[in-house]
Amino acid sequence: MIAVAERWHALSRPEEDDEIREARAEYKAASEQLDKFHADDASGWYTGRSAKYRIPHKNAAEKRLDAAEAQLTELTGDGRVDIT
């Protein structure tokens, strides 16, 4: 039933699927940005003159991921598809 409902939703509201696809892509990119920050931080990249950029880069990456999560949740809700 879920697969049928998802297919029906995709056919009946294609513009919403595009929005969701874009939101998922942004979430993935934001997650990768935060992962890159953590990898750079662990490797010692933010030392010396670069240390002043550590916290701003961390905050920006977390803020981007939070916004992407909120957008995706807003578009997909709790993950349920209405089949009524």
What pLDDT, in 10s, does the model give residues 45-77? Answer: 999 998 999 999 999 999 999 999 999 888 877
Q: What is the pLDDT of residues 2-36, one digit of tens each?
A: 677 667 767 777 667 788 889 999 999 999 999 99
Q: For residue 9, count CB atoms less than 10 angstroms from its CB and return exposed for 0-12, middle for 13-18, buried for 19 or more.
A: middle
How much is the pLDDT for 76? Answer: 76
Contacts of 6 (CB under 8 A, 6+ apart): 81
How much is the pLDDT for 83? Answer: 58
Q: Compute the distance between CA of residue 41 and CA of residue 82 in angstroms, rounded to an integer.
A: 43
Position 67, amino acid: A
pTM check: above 0.85: no
Report residue 80's pLDDT band, with 50, 70 and 90 as the boundaries. Answer: low
